[in-house]
């Protein structure tokens, strides 16, 4: 079974460009939406994202919507805790594909580290 994890050297979900996320209003509260939009830099990446190291500069203090944990995903998406693993994997794959491409090294690395067959995934 695949087990979700956030891999080093990815950062795809820190690309916040609202044009790529037209349904933000569906899952963020008005306050969180305002916070989200305040984080978007001119290049679409979060202003707290270090593009050189691909790491969050405020990791310990990052907003709740950046946290992959049962309570936040249940609140935002109505995902039951037992479904979080598969949902998070699907979210990461969608985000990685959108930012780096489905055939990139990031997708291959993610699939390998969570325990998915990257060839099977990338050939869908
Ligand atoms: S897309 Fe997934 S693996 Fe990549 S940085 Fe975000 S949570 Fe981590
Ligand atoms: S606050 Fe940190 S984790 Fe959240 S989008 Fe920005 S860089 Fe990524």
Residue ranges of domains in the chain: 12-122
- pLDDT for the residue 7: 97
- pLDDT averaged over the chain? 93
Ligand 1: atom nearest CA of 11 is 5
Altogether, the residues listed in the chain come to a count of: 124
DSSP 28: S
pTM for this prediction: 0.91
pLDDT at 118 exceeding the cut of 80 = no
pLDDT category, 101, cuts 50, 70, 90?
very high
pLDDT at 123 exceeding the cut of 80 = no
d(CA 10, CA 29) in angstroms, rounded, equals: 27
> Is 110:3 a contact under the CB 8 Å cutoff?
no
pLDDT category, 97, cuts 50, 70, 90?
very high
d(CA 39, CA 26) in angstroms, rounded, equals: 18
**Ligand 1: which residues within 6 Å by Cβ?**
6-7, 10-13, 68, 92, 95-96, 110
- Using CB atoms within 10 A of its CB, is residue 43 exposed (0-12), middle (13-18) or buried (19+)? exposed
Q: Whose CA is nearest to atom 2 of ligand 1?
A: 92
């Amino acid at each position: 079974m695949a087990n979700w994890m956030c891999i080093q050297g990815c950062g795809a979900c820190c690309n916040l460009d609202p044009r790529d996320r037209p349904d933000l209003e569906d899952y963020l509260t008005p306050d969180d939406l305002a916070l989200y939009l305040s984080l978007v830099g001119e290049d679409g990446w979060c202003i707290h994202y270090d593009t050189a190291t691909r790491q969050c500069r405020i990791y310990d203090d990052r907003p709740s919507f950046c946290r992959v944990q049962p309570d936040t995903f249940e609140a935002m998406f109505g995902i039951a805790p037992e479904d979080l693993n598969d949902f998070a994997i699907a979210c990461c794959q969608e985000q990685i594909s959108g930012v780096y491409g489905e055939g990139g090294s990031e997708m291959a690395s993610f699939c390998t580290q969570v325990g998915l067959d990257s060839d099977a995934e990338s050939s869908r």
